Structure 1
Amino acid sequence: MRFGIIGTNWITESFIEAASEVDGFTLTAVYSRTLDRAEEFAAKFGVEHIYTDLHEFAGSPEIDAVYIASPNSLHKEQSIICMENNKHVLCEKPIASNASELMEMVQVAKEKNVLLMEALKTTFLPNFLTIRDNLHKIGKIRRYSASYCQYSSRYDKYKEGVILNAFRPEFSNGSLMDIGIYTIYPMIALFGAPSTIKANAVMLDSGVDGQGSVLFEYPGMEAVITHSKIVNSYLPAEIQGEDGTMVIDKIHTPEKVQIFFKDGTSEDITVTQKAKSMYYEAAEFINLVENGQLESSTNSFANSLYTHRTLDEVRKQIGLKYIAD
């Protein structure tokens, strides 16, 4: 499958390195707004076709699918232009600025009979699958607790007065959208949409959230998540059941998963991850296209929509507004 790339950053490089290990992946085109950056990136990965016009890129006969890793605020427009040119789209998380945008994107995907999938890697990883498949062992689940707090190197610049994209609301950015989603999407994939949401955040002068926490209510259980781009945290995630507690080292990229039962015994349910973390989302995407399937059952339209409706409600409660809203 011939891929074109939108977004020439470190995330894109990580995706290419991982996807290159998937049978059938070929990188044939790069789009960037500037020719110098497009040429530099293309040379690094041996890419033949370079575009600085998005419509020419989307209409290129040299590509079958597009991986998009541009600023969040551009995801909808770029995805729709590519899908209208009959290209399958794998779009980095968050796939859109809000649920309304995502609904537009899904509608176009259905009209054009192309695959649209959110590139949220967590839910495809071997150790997330082992979490899902072993939940029954811990009995009636009462709490999901997850934290992703990572001090951003861009925050140093922010404190110096240089506001980079990660902290600019016009790009639909901030802690919730950048890394908080990694705690929320897995929750929804495992337990569905919450019934109530209560959110708090520390807002920065630029207009985005630097960190926050959210309490979710489900029938018979609760969930709590914390996220930050201005402090670090080293807490594991937990799923607490009446018969035991599942402890997950990192909710965004789980590599070690253990169950501690109430009788004092424990079980290590970790499985071996044989490839780079982004390999699995690329493999899923390519496999779906090759088999004529136009929606992932894992990163489904429903899971992405539930997640983005949840993000919308959290942003409403903390007063985080985007131009896209």
Structure 2
Amino acid sequence: MISLGIVGTNWITEQFVKATDETKTFSLTHVYSRTEIKAKSFIEDLNKKNVNVSTDLNSFFKENFNTVYIASPNSLHFSQAKLAIENGKNVIVEKPSTSTIEEFTILDKLAHEKGVYIFEAARHIHEPIFKKIQIVVDKHRDNLSGATLSYMKYSSRYDAYLEGKNPNVFTTKFSGGALYDLGVYTIYDAVVLFGRPGKVSYEAEILDSGIDGSGTLTLKYPKFDVNIIVGKTKNSYMSSEIYFGRDTLLLDNAGDINHLDWADDNKNITDVPTSKSENPMDSEAKEFARIMNENDTVSYDKLLKYARIVNRVLEQARTSAGLVFEADEEN
């Protein structure tokens, strides 16, 4: 198995480590946290032994492990990934991998120069259910006529924001907001299924903190539009849809996809058989490890291309809405 270090001790790093255990792809050997107590508690909760703990990031990346998984606040991804690459580590970084396309370009170039991998962890595009969507879209591509994708979920941190606190996900300092969280899933859907859009526009509901609580995004393609609805300040239970003229593919959710239906012109709705892993990060763990073990540059280049387009679309959308991050001023 590939030796793994992680940055962060939150629920998503725990889920990723469990996925690597289930798939026998990576072996946790090093943990970085700002406090030793949190790191040790994290390791104990996972029932891990012989795991090294670091509270200094520079010394952490000099340790002897192969790959790092980074799941810190968005604005920290760039500096942490850059330091990891400079120390010869392969990088798996949570989406979005950077706050700006300039940051992404720097990491892309540096990883190539150092001969290491950098993966953006958009886990849902690796799941079997998403692969089934790709098959359906490819089969009916001649009739493809657009899509409506929705991912709105009331944030567990929004109440704290309303109480006057300053959660990371609702600040420009940490590159927060609906677009750079839930919106990344929907943009990945569009880019992987339909390619790079020609024009991008985003109408955002901007909170007092300067980030978007929700918004509507339009991606224009030569023959159709993709309309996207994202939000972290309200819940939506609306299905997402991909249109093929008279027929429609229904997704229960554009980000956390669990069920597919096909609706025809006569309003007949039939289930599209597929499968779903209990841990949604299993598939990406297996794919990242496979690419590294087999040195599959074709698959890697495809994922890198998707990430490059998604990060550019994110910045174009944010710019069109007048959203400014502190990271913009640093580049």
1:42 counterpart SS class: helix
Q: TM-score, normalised by structure 1?
A: 0.95
1:175 counterpart SS class: coil
> Distance in 1 between the 2:298 and 2:84 partners?
17
Q: 5+ unaligned residues in a row in structure 2: which ranges?
A: none
| Alignment match of 1:213 (pick from 192, 212, 216) | 216
What pairs up with 1:159-308 in 2 under 5 angstroms?
159-293=162-296, 296-297=299-300, 300-308=303-311
Residue aligning to 1:321: 324
CA deviations 1:123-152 (Å, max 9, x no partner) are 101111000001123741111111110001
Q: How far 1:253 sits from its partner (Å)?
A: 2.0
> Distance in 1 between the 2:16 and 2:127 partners?
14
Verify the 8 A CA contact 1:138 1:261 in the aligned structure 2: no
Verify the 8 A CA contact 1:124 1:298 in the aligned structure 2: no
Q: How far 1:296 sits from its partner (Å)?
A: 4.0
Residues 1:176 and 1:278: Cα distance change in structure 2 (over 3 Å) = same
Residue aligning to 2:76: 74
Verify the 8 A CA contact 1:113 1:294 in the aligned structure 2: no
Q: How far 1:36 sits from its partner (Å)?
A: 2.1
Residue aligning to 2:53: 50
Q: How far 1:317 sits from its partner (Å)?
A: 1.4
Q: How far 1:35 sits from its partner (Å)?
A: 2.1
> Distance in 2 between the 1:131 and 1:4 partners?
33
CA deviations 1:176-234 (Å, max 9, x no partner) are 10111111111011111111122101111111111111112111111100111100000
Verify the 8 A CA contact 1:92 1:119 in the aligned structure 2: yes
> Distance in 2 between the 1:22 and 1:132 partners?
24
What pairs up with 1:79-94 in 2 under 5 angstroms?
79-94=81-96
Q: TM-score, normalised by structure 2?
A: 0.94
Q: How far 1:109 sits from its partner (Å)?
A: 1.1
Residue aligning to 2:22: 21
Residues 1:237 and 1:210: Cα distance change in structure 2 (over 3 Å) = same
Residue range with higher mean Cα deviation, 248-257 or 41-50: 41-50
2:44 corresponds to which letter in structure 1? A
Residues 1:104 and 1:89: Cα distance change in structure 2 (over 3 Å) = same
> Distance in 1 between the 2:91 and 2:112 partners?
12
Q: How far 1:263 sits from its partner (Å)?
A: 4.9
CA deviations 1:265-288 (Å, max 9, x no partner) are 444223122441011111111111
Aligned residue pairs total 324
Residues 1:94 and 1:39: Cα distance change in structure 2 (over 3 Å) = same
| Alignment match of 1:134 (pick from 133, 136, 141) | 136
Residue range with higher mean Cα deviation, 162-171 or 256-265: 256-265
Q: How far 1:309 sits from its partner (Å)?
A: 1.0
Residue aligning to 2:97: 95
Residue aligning to 2:151: 148
RMSD: 1.6
What is the percentage of aligned positions where both structures have the same residue? Answer: 35
1:145 counterpart SS class: strand
2:215 counterpart SS class: strand
1:240 counterpart SS class: strand
> Distance in 2 between the 1:70 and 1:294 partners?
27
Verify the 8 A CA contact 1:22 1:283 in the aligned structure 2: yes
